Structure formats: structure tokens, C-alpha cells
């Protein structure tokens, strides 16, 4: 038998270790990745990493971000990153965070490390929902970001439970009997807020100030954080690459994608309130995948019902939150703008006082 070659003890190592490339990076998601022109994932990831910085362990489920950023022997990740499978990244990072805690309490690691899981809507709303819900319930100290492009884009655009009603996908084609997806989208942000995790938010990369503020907030908050961020897909939405961010802007201006944030399922704050919302038709018209519904009054009506009912719900939740904040002697803005430690110190005891049965 031929002598066996000595095996190499390197599992997967693809970091571009060039001397000239060091933190702080201008683009922490290094150039050279394989994302489509006009894709809004890279700015989302860059905004996250710029806020979180070098000492961050990141990860992703299988999906667009995963296949385009780590193709052996190259990587676009300038921070540690782990991808195991389609549905389990929050569970994987649960283990990583547990490992960190184990070494931290034994004094075997000094620095503060953050954990961020960035995943698509298929891996979040559908196949990965269990792992997400589990990690949220266990309240691991990590940020979970869903870049929500409303479908399985990496496999060529099939429906997910984030796909809006009426939209064309490869599994909900526009036919003579059935026209696009028949069910409305699942509202995962509400579901995560109902987990009563420390921080839940909905964001839009178009409004980068709001988005980066939310990322910064999540870094300060201890426990599980969830941010659902709308992300345009030029390939499947068929919006022109140069118009991607204009479409995203309209999503919020038409109330299709409200920007809001929730603390512990208790305090709700809407971040952008368009004085005169744009017609939803304008937003739909920018997306060839969806614009056939403009000629379908019944579907259009269902879309409007969903959007305006949700908007009304958010307004009412915010009103209740304002009342509660005032009862405790704060304004709602004060509660959202104070640090997490301050919140624990100042707001929580009052909340307890006010709401416990005496």
C-alpha cells in the first residue's frame, strides 16, 4: 500500500490574511463577494459590522449571503463567521455564546465578544423558525437579523411565508386559474415581539440612520435581539438595480413596511410616520413580480386591508406604550433612548411597582 500522505489539520480556513487588510475596515464585508449588482444585502451587512466591530462572532443560515461570501478558498468575512446548515444558525451561535460564557466565567477569556446571526427569510420565517424561537426563548445574548427579500432567492425564487399575497414566485406562478401567492405574508416581527425578548425591531436599509441606530441599540441591550430588515432582490422582484433603494423607500412611505421597535413586548414605538402615506400601488408598480395585482381589485383590497389594519394596530400599541411610559414618569422616547442598564435600573422597578397586584 502506498504511504498515506500526512493529513492537514485545517478544517476550513478561507480568510484573506493580507497585511494591508486590517480592522477598522471601510467595508467589513470585503469586496470580491459574489452578490448580484443592486443587491441590498451587502450594505445591510456592512452597517451591522461597522457598528459591532472586530470582536464579533457572526454566522448565517444557508442562503444568498452564505453562498456568495464564502466560496472556498476565499471569504469576504473579516470577522469570525460560521455556517452549518439551512435552519440552525441561532442554535449554532447559542453554542458559541455558551462556550464564550463558559470560558468567561472561568477567566480564560477577557475581551467582550458579541454574537450576530444574519439570515434570509426562508431560514427565518420557515425552516429555521424553531431554532430562532428556541434561541429567543433561552435569551442568548445575540443579535438576529433577518434580511427579508420575501422569498427563496438563492434557489431561484420560490414562495416563503414572507412572500406577500398575489406575488409571483416559481412555486406560485401567475396562471389562468391561480394568480400568484394566495396567502398573505406572516408577520414575524410581531411573533418575535410576542416572545417578549429584550429588543425587537423592523428596519429598512434605505433609512440607514434609523437602521444603524437600531443596530447600535441592539449592541447595548443584553439578551436576545431581533431585527427584521426589508431587502430588495433585483433578481426576483425584478426591480431595476439602480432603483432598489427607491423601492425600499416606498415600502416604508406606503406603510407596507413600517419602521418600529419594541422593548420586552411592552414598549412599542413607531420610528417613521409618513404625514401623507404614498399609495401602495406606487410600491407595487416598481416590482414586476407583483404588479399584475394592480389589475386585480380584490387582491389589492386584501393587501390594503392587511397594511392599514397593521398600521392601526401599531398606532394603538404605541399609544398604549406612551400611556404606560407616562404612568411610570417617563416619555416613550426617554425609555427607548436610555441605555439598557439605565432601563433596568430606572424603568423596571417602576414597572413592577405599577403593574404588580398589591
Cβ–Cβ under 8 Å, residues 243 and 286: yes
Residue 347 three-state SS: helix
Greatest distance between any 2 Cα atoms in the chain? 81
Write the DSSP symbol of residue 9.
Answer: -
72 binds other proteins (CB under 8 A): yes
- Residue 123 Cβ vs other proteins, minimum distance, rounded to whole Å: 13
SS3 annotation, 102-156: HHHHCCCCCCCCEEEEEEECHHHHHCCHHHHHHHHHCCCCEEEEEEECCCECCCC
48 binds other proteins (CB under 8 A): no
Cβ–Cβ under 8 Å, residues 153 and 236: yes
Contacting other proteins (CB under 8 A), which of 33, 43, 63, 83? Answer: 83
Non-local (6+) Cβ contacts of 337 within 8 A are none
Q: In this complex, which beta carbon is closest to other proteins, that of residue 94 or of residue 160? A: 94
Contacting other proteins (CB under 8 A), which of 10, 20, 357, 358? Answer: 10
Contacting other proteins (CB under 8 A), which of 44, 79, 280, 324? Answer: 79
106 binds other proteins (CB under 8 A): yes
- Residue 5 Cβ vs other proteins, minimum distance, rounded to whole Å: 7
* Omega within 30 of 0 (cis) for the link into 347: no
- Residue 207 Cβ vs other proteins, minimum distance, rounded to whole Å: 30
296 binds other proteins (CB under 8 A): no
113 binds other proteins (CB under 8 A): yes
130 binds other proteins (CB under 8 A): yes
85 binds other proteins (CB under 8 A): yes
Residue 181 three-state SS: coil
Subset of residues 202 to 241 that bind other proteins, contact rule: CB under 8 A: none
Give the angle subtended at the CA of 204 by the CAs of 322 and 217, to the nearest 5°.
55
Q: In this complex, which beta carbon is closest to other proteins, that of residue 91 or of residue 280? A: 91
The binding site for other proteins (CB under 8 A) comprises 4-15, 54-57, 59, 66-67, 70-75, 77-85, 87-89, 91-103, 105-106, 108-109, 111, 113, 130-131, 133-134, 137-138
Amino acid at each position: 500500500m502506498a504511504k498515506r500522505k500526512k493529513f492537514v489539520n485545517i478544517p476550513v480556513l478561507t480568510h484573506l490574511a493580507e497585511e494591508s487588510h486590517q480592522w477598522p475596515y471601510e467595508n467589513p464585508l470585503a469586496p470580491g463577494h459574489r452578490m448580484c449588482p443592486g443587491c441590498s444585502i451587502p450594505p445591510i451587512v456592512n452597517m451591522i459590522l461597522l457598528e459591532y466591530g472586530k470582536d464579533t462572532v457572526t454566522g448565517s443560515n444557508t442562503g444568498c449571503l452564505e453562498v456568495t461570501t464564502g466560496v472556498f478558498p476565499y471569504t469576504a468575512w473579516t470577522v469570525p463567521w460560521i455556517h452549518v446548515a439551512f435552519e440552525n444558525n441561532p442554535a449554532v451561535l447559542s453554542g458559541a455564546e455558551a462556550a464564550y460564557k463558559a470560558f468567561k466565567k472561568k477567566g480564560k477569556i477577557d475581551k467582550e465578544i458579541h454574537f450576530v446571526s444574519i439570515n434570509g427569510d426562508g431560514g427565518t420565517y420557515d425552516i429555521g423558525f424553531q431554532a430562532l424561537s428556541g434561541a429567543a426563548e433561552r435569551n442568548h445574548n445575540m443579535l438576529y437579523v433577518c434580511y427579508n427579500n420575501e422569498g427563496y432567492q438563492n434557489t431561484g425564487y420560490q414562495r416563503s411565508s414572507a412572500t406577500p399575497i398575489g406575488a409571483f414566485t416559481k412555486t406560485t406562478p401567475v396562471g389562468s386559474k391561480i394568480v400568484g401567492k394566495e396567502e398573505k405574508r406572516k408577520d414575524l416581527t410581531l411573533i418575535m415581539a410576542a416572545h417578549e425578548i429584550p429588543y425587537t425591531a423592523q428596519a429598512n436599509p434605505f433609512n440607514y440612520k434609523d437602521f444603524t441606530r437600531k443596530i447600535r441599540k441592539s449592541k447595548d441591550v443584553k439578551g436576545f435581539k431581533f431585527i427584521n430588515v426589508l431587502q430588495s432582490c433585483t433578481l426576483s422582484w425584478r426591480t431595476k438595480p439602480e432603483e432598489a433603494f427607491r423601492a425600499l423607500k416606498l415600502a416604508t412611505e406606503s406603510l407596507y413596511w413600517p419602521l418600529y421597535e419594541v422593548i420586552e413586548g411592552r414598549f412599542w414605538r413607531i420610528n417613521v410616520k409618513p404625514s401623507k402615506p404614498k399609495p401602495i400601488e406606487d410600491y407595487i408598480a416598481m416590482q414586476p413580480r407583483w404588479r399584475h395585482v394592480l389589475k386585480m381589485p380584490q387582491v389589492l383590497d386584501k393587501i390594503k386591508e392587511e397594511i392599514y389594519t397593521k398600521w392601526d394596530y401599531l398606532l394603538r400599541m404605541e399609544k398604549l406604550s406612551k400611556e404606560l411610559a407616562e404612568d411610570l414618569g417617563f416619555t416613550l422616547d426617554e425609555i427607548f433612548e436610555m441605555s439598557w442598564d439605565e432601563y433596568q435600573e430606572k424603568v423596571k422597578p417602576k414597572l413592577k411597582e405599577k403593574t404588580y397586584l398589591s
